[in-house]
Structure 1
Amino acid sequence: MAANTLIFGGSGKCARHITRLLAAEGHTVHSVIRNPDQRPDIEGLGGEPIVQSIEESSVDDLANTITSSKASTVLWCAGAGGGSPGRTKAVDNEGAIRSMEATAQAGVKRYIIISAIDVRDRRNKPEPEWYDDNDRQRSEKVWTAIGPYMQAKFAADRNLVTENGRRGLEYTIVRPGGLTNEAGQGTIAAGKVHLGSTISREDVAQTVVECLKNDGTKGLAFDCVGGDTPIAEAVAQVAKERLDGFAGRY
């Protein structure tokens, strides 16, 4: 059944793939972009662009956008790219949290956010029990290199989970590994995975689309990297086994 989806951060590479995939399936896709020059690109993918600055928008502003688009699902794909720590906090943490509040305020239940693998409380909570030495080294390297980005993602994800008793969202947190621009393979590894493998943005987009189709992913935060399992099958397995990589680590 065709749905009406609103994407925050519509100009991002993952979001563009999601727009194309959903539009091809007959969905209405509203894509929030900051730069009006990107309108033709979004329209070319089958999306309907909305020019709006997430950073400058209040919860009410974002809620009005959700309501006016008649969205039944909200996707958070926005990110500052990990450059300026201040802008990273403004978008990946504070902007994301405003979008959660706005989604609840607009009366929309379904909310999916793209986060990152290994986002967790590394100081106070145990590491995932399946990590090996390579995972530990990789974790240390990434957190040292882009700590503010990982911290911003963590703050947003934790807020989504811990405040959901109040908001009542049917959320899914998709936590991909290192991203590439290679063509999608149509296969991934998902659930309790190791950190060393990358994943194409196109495969992340397809994973998000499969989450939209699978209600069993509601309430889960799961990791995904490149692998050999067809995406729909991998997502179904995550849903069936309730494989949550964030639980107990925030």
Structure 2
Amino acid sequence: MNVAIAGGHGKIALRLARLLAARGDTVLSLIRNPDHADDVRAAGAGPVPCDLERADAAEVAEKITGADAVVFAAGAGPGSGAGRKETVDRAAAVLVADAAERAGVRPFLQISAMGVDTEPAADRGEVWAAYIRAKKEAEEDLRARDGLDWLILRPGRLTDDPGTGTVTLAAPYVGHEAVTRDDVAAVIVALLDARGVRRRVLELIGGDTPVDAAVAALARDARDTRE
């Protein structure tokens, strides 16, 4: 499989690249900062400089043409202000989805966030509200597209603890517990392989079900629904 990752230097993206590369897949990681290229190469991916806050859809489409799937893993990060939540968490997600349609890459997995279906608490502040709003609008844009076989994955509170290999993965709502970034990456790999699981919004936290079994259950549900 040839996978393009937008936001390729992120913590989940690097873990995802390692897993895909280790099994022989080709990974192209779009990165804003060329100084991150060595980190991306060390993860087994090919760095592709591309500033998603400045590029247009045609430029991004050229870079991802030939991919079998796109993963949107970009984010403005916890130290950014409200303005970059708009330009990265929403606008860049829309841009990459536009590019995927142009390039004819239908499988598209977008990493989103818990809490987008409710109004953020006032005491969380302006930046948090902007983040939730951006993620919600990016989801709404993706869910309206007929040209992509999309998946939206909302992880719980992310940790850098070692992966457990077991999760809770289901349609909203599953709670707000933590999940390791290792396990998020493993779930993404399994979802990319499960081509029958598409056009779903899924939430992910730590749990007791092995990753492969959790994704297989979703695939069975999808088959039962079609039948």
Same fold (TM over 0.5): yes
- Following the alignment from structure 1 to structure 2, what is the Cα–Cα distance between the partners of residues 142 and 103? 37
- Following the alignment from structure 1 to structure 2, what is the Cα–Cα distance between the partners of residues 20 and 9? 15
Partner residue in 2 for 1:100: 97
- How far apart are residue 141 of structure 1 and its match? 7.8
Partner residue in 2 for 1:235: 215
Partner residue in 1 for 2:225: none
User: TM-score normalised to the size of structure 2?
Assistant: 0.91
Partner residue in 2 for 1:172: 151
1:181-200 to 2 correspondences below 5 Å: 181-191=160-170, 192-200=172-180
Amino acid in the other structure paired with 2:6: F
Q: Is 2:137 aligned against 1:155?
A: yes
Identity %: 36
- How far apart are residue 176 of structure 1 and its match? 0.5
Q: Look up the SS of the partner of 1:217 in the other structure.
A: coil
- How far apart are residue 150 of structure 1 and its match? 1.0
* 2:114 counterpart (93, 117, 128): 117
* 1:206 counterpart (182, 186, 189): 186
Q: Is 2:60 aligned against 1:78?
A: no
Contact 2:174 2:203 in 1 (8 A): no
Could you tell me which runs of 5 or more consecutive residues in structure 2 were left unpaired when the two chains were aligned: 223-227
- How far apart are residue 239 of structure 1 and its match? 3.4
User: TM-score normalised to the size of structure 1?
Assistant: 0.83
Could you tell me which runs of 5 or more consecutive residues in structure 1 were left unpaired when the two chains were aligned: 124-138, 243-250
- Following the alignment from structure 2 to structure 1, what is the Cα–Cα distance between the partners of residues 220 and 124? 31
Amino acid in the other structure paired with 1:227: G
What value does the CA root-mean-square deviation take over the aligned residues?
A: 1.7
Q: Is 2:28 aligned against 1:48?
A: no
* 2:36 counterpart (12, 18, 38): 38
What is the aligned residue count?
219
